[in-house]
Structures are given as C-alpha cells and as structure tokens.
Amino acid sequence: MSATDDLWPDIQESTAELPVAILREQAAKLAPKTQGLVEARVDTRTVGEDIHHRFLLVAPALDHYTYHLFTVTHGVPRVYPAYLDDLDDAAKAALPPQNVRLGKVRSGRIEVPGYAIRDAARLRKVLRTVLNCNRTRDIIGSLLAQSRVLAS
C-alpha cells in the first residue's frame, strides 16, 4: 500500500427524513398564512454532541420580536429518537402522555431529555399538535394583531 491510497470507504448519505427538513418545511408555511406579518424560522446550533433546532416565531414589524416556541434535539449519526423540549405548560398539556425513560445524570441530578420522538412520522404528528394548540394560536394571533397595527 502506498502513501497515496484512498483508505476511505464509499460514503452513503443518510436516507432518514431529517428533523430540520421537517421543521423548515413547516416554518415556510406560516408567512403566507399571515401575509408575512408573522414568520417562523429554524435556528440550528450544536451543543456538545447534540444538534438543537430552535423553532422561532418572528414578527418583523415588531422590531423582529422573536418568540421561542420549542426545540428539537437529536444526535449524530442517529437523528431518531429526537427530543422535543422547551415547551410551555399549555403546549405540553396538549401532547399525549408519554412514559419517560431516565436521562443522563449531570451534576448529581437526572436530566430527562424531553418528549421523545421515534421517527419522522411521529415528529409530524407531534408538530401538528403543538402548532395547532390554543397557546400557539394565541401567540401567533397576538403577534399578528400587533404587527398589523404597526404595519398600517
């Protein structure tokens, strides 16, 4: 074997439907429903070995006021299970009950990673519940009304 041999295998791209693709798809659907007065955005960051996708509601007319609706977190290379977190109590109450397995122990306490989502189909189902819950509708309705007044 010489020093110029390629030691890498053939690389195959993952075929899983990625959480970020589903979140961006849904984010793109909000602005047309609100005439662009309220938009949704997905902000992706890494924290340690995890990837966090924050789902944000943005009102451009309100100096780009931003409301953090929830976060979806997953690892690499496996993107499922993913975990839905940072929900307010009203959105949590809209989700069906779930048996929670114990999470990682950090700083002497057990950390539960959030609402577990096993696959893309389940993510879509959970997103439908969160995006349609009364709390989300109230937040968007309030941002829409305030933005409409400022835009006129």
The pTM of this model reads: 0.86
Main-chain phi, psi angles of 47, to 5 degrees? -135, 110
Q: How many CA atoms lie within 13 A of 118 on its CB side?
A: 3
Kindly indicate the confidence band of residue 45, based on its pLDDT and cuts at 50, 70 and 90: very high
Average pLDDT, the chain: 89
Q: pLDDT digits over 83-123, tens only? A: 999 988 888 888 888 755 545 545 554 455 578 999 999 99
Largest CA distance in the chain: 72
- Domain positions in the chain are 19-151
- Rounded distance between C-alpha atoms, residue 68 and residue 54, angstroms: 7
Helix axes 134-151, 120-132, angle to 10 degrees: 60
- Please tell me the predicted confidence (pLDDT) of residue 71: 96
